[in-house]
Amino acid sequence: MKKHNLFTQSIAFYIFLLLCCTACQHTGSSGSEAIEDDTMEEVSMIDTIKAISDPLVTDNYTADPSAHVFEGKIYIYPSHDIDAGIPEDDLGSHFGMKDYHVYSMESIPGAVTDHGVALDIKDVPWAGRQMWAPDAAEKDGMYYLYFPVKDKEDVFHIGVASSDSPAGPFTAEPEPIADSYSMDPTVFKDSDGTYYMYFGGIWGGQLQRWEGATYNPEDVYPADDAPAILPRIAKMNTDMKSFAEPVKQVQILDENGELLKAGDNDRRFFEASWMHQYNGKYYFSYSTGDTHYIAYAIGDNPYGPFTYKGVILNPVIGWTNHHSIVEFNGKWYLFYHDSTLSNGDTHLRNIKVTELKYNPDGTIQTIDPYLE
């Protein structure tokens, strides 16, 4: 993998934006360095940017929104950003989140209800630190919260907690899901009632440390001209708390049917898997990470392969992005986050929503998060 210096790249983005007066297109601060005094001139441009949508939550910092329609409402399961006082590093250690809130909306736009803390790290027996991006699913009137967290040896696994309410609170299982690893779980219900979990994230998400079910504490990345590290999938058991099969890789192909290469940073998978169906096709979307796009690929079944089709969302203020896509009351919506609420602080983010539209051929219209 081509490992860019995040701080250098992000500041370059800011300078480019200032020179070209196109702050709406490429902005972000670093995932590895705090915004220091000598960058305040760049940060101040946030005050002049017109965003296409406002933060949904303003009394907490929220990120990585997983949105679902449960009981006729939109329920949003984001991560909860806090100022943990942890020094920033290249692996995101400063993202020291320790609990989850659940939010709901009866309409878009509309009021957002905070249902309070749904799960706290202190109530997860195996957890060590860093409760990152979660997701949720419903089956037979029970609700399941899936969450990544590092164990007490600092290795990411995926946990599950359950509740009889989509708002929680959730009760965690005493151990992580067997054979789970890395981060960013999302659980998709297929039209035949089968559930699948997609997961994985490179770099701080540790996916590059796994070869099959074997963990290597050393980071191993492919050469730029080799196939990129791939996201993972596993069918869920009927209990919704375990895998029904060995974990498989999800292939993402280019227009020639070849696997995307590790050096193809604008298109290859980095993190933030999401799956949805539209007109009989399966849309696998994800973040490209260090190039800041939400991209997507289309396939004919949940396992893929998926052929890359384009960009859903252009870069936002703040280094990361993470999204979900949901249909509600006859329209499609993209939930995402940026860092406008904190004036560009990369680890204090806010969730947002905007309408998503398709072209007649089934491709998705690219969204610019800011107006020129």
Active site residues: 64, 271
SS3 call for 64: strand
> Which tokens go with 328?
């509600």
Region class of 136: left (phi > 0), else alpha (psi between -120 and 50), else beta: beta
Partners of 163 in the β-ladder:
143
Cα–Cα distance between 293 and 329 in angstroms, integer? 27
| Beta-bridge partner residues of 82 | none
CA dihedral 249, 240, 301, 135 (to 10 degrees): -80
Longest dimension (CA), the chain: 55
- Tokens representing residue 217 in the block: 């504490």
Give the angle 195-242-139 at the CA atoms, nearest 5°: 40
Paired tokens of 147: 């969450």
